[in-house]
Amino acid sequence: MIDKSKRIIIKIGTSVLVENNIKHITDSIKSLKNYECIIVSSGAVSLGNKELKATFKHEDDIMRNISSSLGQNKLMQLYQKNIQAGQVLITKNDLINRSSFLQIKNVIETMIQNNIIPIINENDTIKSRFNKFRDNDQVAIEIASKLQADLLIMLTNVSGVFTSDPDKENAKVIQELKQEDLKNVKLGKKTNKESTGGMHTKLEAALSASKIGIPVIIANGNEPGVLEKVVKGQKLGTSIKSEENVKSKQRWILLTKEQGTFEIDSGAFNALKKKNSLLAIGVKDVKGNFLSGDVVEIICNGKKIAKAITDLNSDVIGLIKGKKTQDIKKTLKTYNAVSKAENIVILK
């Protein structure tokens, strides 16, 4: 059993929603009184398209946006029949910008304090190829990371990850999974045409979560009482254990899309490994257009070695790269570093 007063992210897939399992899932959530539950829910497009009956030509078909606009209200009605729930719609850009992310975090934290279950969903009505998540599995991992979740439960319409295609007689559920085990996993085909994810994306999300300190369980949302059983430690579905504990800001940096690139020399890389700040003298080149506070990738000798929050915009760094601190301060008196040590995460 996981400790009390822990925060759980529950990802509910379209395949579970269309099979009318929300009642038993929300009953389970109500029974978890000592836990903070946050739901990431798919299903708006599917529910809306039951009325619209559109045929989507491709992933960015605007009819998906319209189906979502019809389905969001229906989705919330399903949840609100049984729990006090509030909707939080987000786009990828909302999480890339740290100030907007902190506002979203504050709203969700306050909802929890007032016993309102947050129902988070990508804002499919306004999303485009420029501001969208890959799918709601990615939303779940980013929310779990950035809200410092202790556990991510991904509910789908199968009983976990199988040793082979689940439709085959000899297929068995893999109870525990590590990254090195992936070569032995055989995945079946996606069966729900209205969902954008599948077991492939769930595994990718789960392994990403485990790397930043969040354990994941992939389980069957059709099973009554599934959440209570998981929390009590019953062996259900597939468990992916976390590899290490990562601080909240580091999680945010690791999962936020880079807006540009620093190329640094070996001396600067050695300084970063000793937990020092990145100085302009160690920067050989800068690429991209970004602002102070954006996340960038750091490259050394052609290899991506770190991610960081930049203290300066791309234009300023382009002017001061390779220069000594004392020379920079003659014209830029506020300069201290290109990126502070606490805002840099070395990649393994």
242 half-sphere exposure, CB direction, 13 A CA radius: 16
Sheet arrangement for strand 85-90: 85-90, 117-122, 36-41, 7-12, 151-156, 216-220, 238-240
pLDDT at 4: 46
CA of residue 307 relative to chain centroid, distance: 17
Q: Is the pTM of this model over 0.75?
A: no
Instruction: Check residue 1 and give its pLDDT.
Output: 43
d(CA 26, CA 81): 9
Distance in angstroms (rounded) separating the CA atoms of residues 14 and 191? 11
Residue 243 confidence (pLDDT): 65
Quick count: other Cβ atoms within 10 Å of Cβ 58?
6
**The pLDDT value given to residue 5:** 45
Distance CA 25, CA 62 (A): 31
Q: Rounded to an integer, what distance in angstroms lies between the CA atom of residue 299 and that of residue 305?
A: 6
Structural domains of the chain ordered from first start: 7-251 (3.40.1160.10), 258-346 (2.30.130.10)
Output the pLDDT for position 149.
Answer: 87
What residues of the chain score a pLDDT lower than 50? 1, 4-5, 191, 193-196
Q: Helix, strand, or coil here: 37?
A: strand
CA distances from 197 to 140, 189, 339 (A): 12, 11, 36
Q: What is the pLDDT of residue 18?
A: 60
Cα dist from 52 to 13, 48, 72, whole Å: 21, 6, 13
> Residue 249, Cβ neighbours under 10 Å: how many?
14
What pLDDT is stored for residue 172 in this prediction?
Answer: 82
Instruction: Give the count of alpha carbons within 13 A of 245, CB side only.
Output: 1
Distance CA 326, CA 204 (A): 46
Cα gap 290→287, rounded to integer Å: 9
CA distances from 298 to 199, 209, 282, 321, 345 (A): 31, 22, 11, 14, 10
Do 17 and 47 touch, CB atoms closer than 8 A? yes
Residue 207: which residues within 8 A CB-CB, separation 6 or more?
179, 182, 240
Task: Give the per-residue SS3 of 94-115.
Answer: HHHCHHHHHHHHHHHHHHHHCC
| The pLDDT value given to residue 245 | 65
DSSP for 113-140, written as a single string: HTT-EEEEEE-TTT--TTT--S-HHHHH
| Whole-angstrom distance, CA of residue 137 vs CA of residue 117 | 19
Asked if 238 and 176 count as a contact pair (C-beta separation under 8 A), the reply is: yes
Q: How far apart are CA 29 and CA 231, in angstroms?
A: 11
Q: What pLDDT does residue 52 have?
A: 83
Digit-coded pLDDT (tens) for 77-131? 999 998 999 999 998 888 877 788 889 999 999 999 999 999 999 888 888 777 7
